[in-house]
Amino acid sequence: MKQSRKERTIVILTITPSVVAVGVFVYGFIAWSIRVSLSDWIGIRPDYTFAGLKNFISLFKSVRFLIDIYNNIFFTILFLAICVGGGLFLAILLDQFIKGEGIFRTVYLFPLAISPVVSAVVWKWIFSPKVGVNVLLTNLLSKIGIERTVEFGWYTSTASFGPFNIALIPIIIAASWGFVGYVMAMYLAALRGIPAELKEAARVDGASEFKIYMKVILPLLKPITLSALIILGHISLKMFDLVYVMTGRGPGFVTDFPSIFMYETTFAANKFSQGAAISLVMLLMVAVVIIPYLTMSLRRET
């Protein structure tokens, strides 16, 4: 197939602006961040004096950064598990062709449309130690005659299982609430795409409904699960707005994330070089998730 000259010009003309924009605003700034991260820039005026890997070395020696990494790992694992598990569960329920399906679908999807800052403020109140669920629990228990003695600190708690801070739980709940509907929508679309004949055939062969889901439907949903994991994974590694508004760093950094560390280091402590180093480590973490996915999907296309 030979392209005419005119076609080729059009192709080049239409692609060039986005290539230039991505080149400058994505790759250009990544390169610039690398330069800053290797510099000695402290204070507001740029200072590109070469400082080697100093910023990265001090970063990995920093207690705060270590806590941040643990926090982010635990947050990611639980956030993904709840979103994917919950999303699948909701999608299967909705796929039973129930009445008012449209209403339920909208209700589950709504949290995604709410600004994370707004929902963070509400969740902050819900899990505040002296109001919200704590009061609710106390009142409910006293109604049935139990005097409650244990007060949950929720996101102010400094207790932990090993390196896992339990103060993260309210944040995980808030974040999952926002995204579970999104995963549900993905699964629901996929479920609707599965031909009815497959289920029929399984039924004819005498498979139970449970077995049909386990052996026929779930394997067919694998690509969706993978996409959901990738999308949510990179969201959770970059999580900032929700956590910053809801709790901030927390006592003893129990709810601190690399993104918050990066923001405060850069713009509150004015250590731009260190901030750039943190953002590059975050970029690497996201790349670990995204690149295998991209290569895989590219290979599939060719």
Which chain residues interact with another protein by CB under 8 A? 42-45, 63-64, 124, 128-130, 151, 153, 155-156, 158, 247-254, 263-271
As a whole number of angstroms, the distance between CA 295 and CA 293 comes to 6
As a whole number of angstroms, the distance between CA 184 and CA 88 comes to 6
Helical residues (DSSP H) of 144-271, grouped into ranges: 168-193, 196-204, 209-212, 218-220, 222-237, 241-246, 258-267
111 vs 248, beta carbon nearer another protein: 248
89 vs 152, beta carbon nearer another protein: 152
- We find the least distance from the C-beta atom of residue 50 to another protein, in angstroms, to be 19
27 vs 267, beta carbon nearer another protein: 267
As a whole number of angstroms, the distance between CA 248 and CA 163 comes to 19
156 vs 225, beta carbon nearer another protein: 156
As a whole number of angstroms, the distance between CA 26 and CA 133 comes to 43
As a whole number of angstroms, the distance between CA 95 and CA 189 comes to 10
- We find the least distance from the C-beta atom of residue 62 to another protein, in angstroms, to be 9
Q: Rounded to the nearest 10 degrees, how much is the dihedral formed by the CA atoms of 232, 235, 240, 246?
A: -20
Query: Where are the strands (E) in the chain, listed by range?
Result: 160-161, 164-165
- We find the least distance from the C-beta atom of residue 102 to another protein, in angstroms, to be 39
One-letter amino acid for residue 115 of the chain = S
Give backbone dihedrals phi and psi of 160, rounded to 5 degrees, phi first. -155, 150
64 vs 238, beta carbon nearer another protein: 64
User: Per the structure block, which two tokens stand in for 282?
Assistant: 């975050």
- We find the least distance from the C-beta atom of residue 60 to another protein, in angstroms, to be 15
- We find the least distance from the C-beta atom of residue 271 to another protein, in angstroms, to be 6
112 vs 153, beta carbon nearer another protein: 153
Selection from 279, 258, 297 nearest residue 69 by Cα: 258
CA 128, 246, 187: angle at the middle one, nearest 5?
110
- We find the least distance from the C-beta atom of residue 122 to another protein, in angstroms, to be 14
One-letter amino acid for residue 264 of the chain = E
- We find the least distance from the C-beta atom of residue 179 to another protein, in angstroms, to be 24
45 vs 143, beta carbon nearer another protein: 45
47 vs 95, beta carbon nearer another protein: 47
As a whole number of angstroms, the distance between CA 249 and CA 168 comes to 11
- We find the least distance from the C-beta atom of residue 58 to another protein, in angstroms, to be 9
